[in-house]
C-alpha cells in the first residue's frame, strides 16, 4: 500500500504528487504494485561537484518520493560505491534532509568506480530480506566501471532475480558501456532485459521532476511484464530461469 499523503514530510509532498503522475502515465498507479526502491550512488572523485551542489541529495529525495507509492516502509536502501561498495544504509521519510551528504562525508576518501561491487551489495541486501516483490534499482554514476567484464557478468546473472536496474548517467561521458548493458541480447546473454539507461547530462538539476520520473520509469513496465511471465517476481522462476550465480 502506498504511504498516505498526510504522512509525507512537507518537503516531499510536491515530489510525491509528481511521482504519482508519472506512475499513472506508465499504468503503474492503480494495479496494486508493490516494489522496493533502491538507490546506488557513485562517489568516485569526479562526483564531488554533484555532492556539493545538492544534485545527489535531490536524487535521493526523488527516489524516496517514488518509494512512497511503491512500498509502505518509508525507506530507501542506499548503496554508496567507489573502489568498493559500502554496506547498504538508508534514507527515510523520518531522516532524509542532508542525509546523503552526511553519509558521503562519513566514508571519507573518494575512490574509483566499481559497478560490480555495488550491484553485488544490492543483490546481497535484497536476498537477505527474503522479499519476493520486485525491486526498482536507481543506479547513478558519472563514468564507466573499473572492470567492465565483471559488471556485465553480474548484470547478466542477476537477470533471474526480480531486480530492475535503471542506470542514470551524470555528466558529459558518452556512457558507451551503460548503453551496451541496456542493449544486451535476450535470451542469449540474459533471460530478460533487466536494465534501462538514462543520460541525465552535466546538469541533472535542470530536469523537471516530472521529466526525470517519466524517463526513469520508461522501461520498468515492460520488464515487469516480461519478468512476471517468467515467474521472476512473486513466485519461483519457471523453466528457463537459472539461479543467480549459475553459469550460462
pLDDT at res. 237: 37
What would the grid cell of residue 85 be?
561498495
pLDDT at res. 32: 80
Query: What pLDDT digit, counting tens, does each position of 44-80 carry?
Result: 999 999 999 999 999 999 999 999 999 989 999 999 9
Question: Side by side, which strands form the sheet with 89-92?
Answer: 89-92, 75-81, 36-42, 135-141, 163-170, 195-201
pLDDT at res. 247: 35
b/e string for 2-23 if b means 16 or more Cβ within 10 A? Answer: bbeeeebbeebeebbebbbebb
Which residue numbers in the chain have pLDDT < 50?
Answer: 235-243, 245-248
User: Distances in Å between the alpha carbon of 93 and those of 34, 37, 40, 67, 154?
Assistant: 18, 13, 18, 10, 31
pLDDT at res. 155: 98
Query: What pLDDT digit, counting tens, does each position of 100-121 carry?
Result: 999 999 999 999 999 999 999 9
pLDDT at res. 244: 56
Cβ atoms 168, 216 nearer than 8 A:
yes
Amino acid at each position: 500500500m502506498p504511504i498516505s499523503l498526510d504522512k509525507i514530510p512537507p518537503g516531499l509532498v510536491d515530489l510525491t504528487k509528481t511521482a504519482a503522475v508519472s506512475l499513472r502515465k506508465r499504468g503503474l498507479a492503480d494495479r496494486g504494485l508493490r516494489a522496493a526502491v533502491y538507490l546506488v550512488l557513485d562517489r568516485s572523485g569526479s562526483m564531488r561537484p554533484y555532492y556539493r551542489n545538492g544534485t545527489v541529495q535531490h536524487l535521493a529525495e526523488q527516489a524516496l518520493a517514488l518509494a512512497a507509492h511503491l512500498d509502505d516502509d518509508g525507506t530507501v536502501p542506499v548503496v554508496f560505491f567507489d573502489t568498493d561498495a559500502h554496506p547498504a544504509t538508508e534514507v527515510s521519510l523520518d531522516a532524509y534532509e542532508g542525509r546523503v551528504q552526511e553519509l558521503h562525508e562519513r566514508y571519507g576518501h573518494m575512490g574509483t568506480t566499481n559497478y560490480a561491487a555495488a550491484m553485488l551489495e544490492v543483490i546481497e541486501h535484497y536476498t537477505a530480506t527474503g522479499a519476493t516483490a520486485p525491486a526498482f534499482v536507481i543506479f547513478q554514476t558519472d563514468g564507466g566501471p573499473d572492470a567492465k567484464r565483471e559488471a556485465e557478468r553480474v548484470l547478466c546473472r542477476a537477470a533471474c532475480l526480480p531486480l530492475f536496474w535503471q542506470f542514470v548517467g551524470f555528466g558529459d561521458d558518452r556512457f558507451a558501456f551503460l548503453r551496451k548493458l541496456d542493449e544486451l541480447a535476450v535470451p542469449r546473454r540474459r533471460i530478460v532485459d533487466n536494465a534501462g539507461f538514462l543520460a541525465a547530462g552535466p546538469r541533472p538539476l535542470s530536469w523537471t521532476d516530472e521529466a526525470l520520473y517519466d524517463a526513469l520509469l520508461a522501461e520498468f513496465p515492460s520488464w515487469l511484464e516480461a519478468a512476471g511471465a517468467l515467474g521472476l517476481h512473486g513466485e519461483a522462476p519457471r523453466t528457463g530461469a537459472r539461479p543467480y550465480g549459475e553459469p550460462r
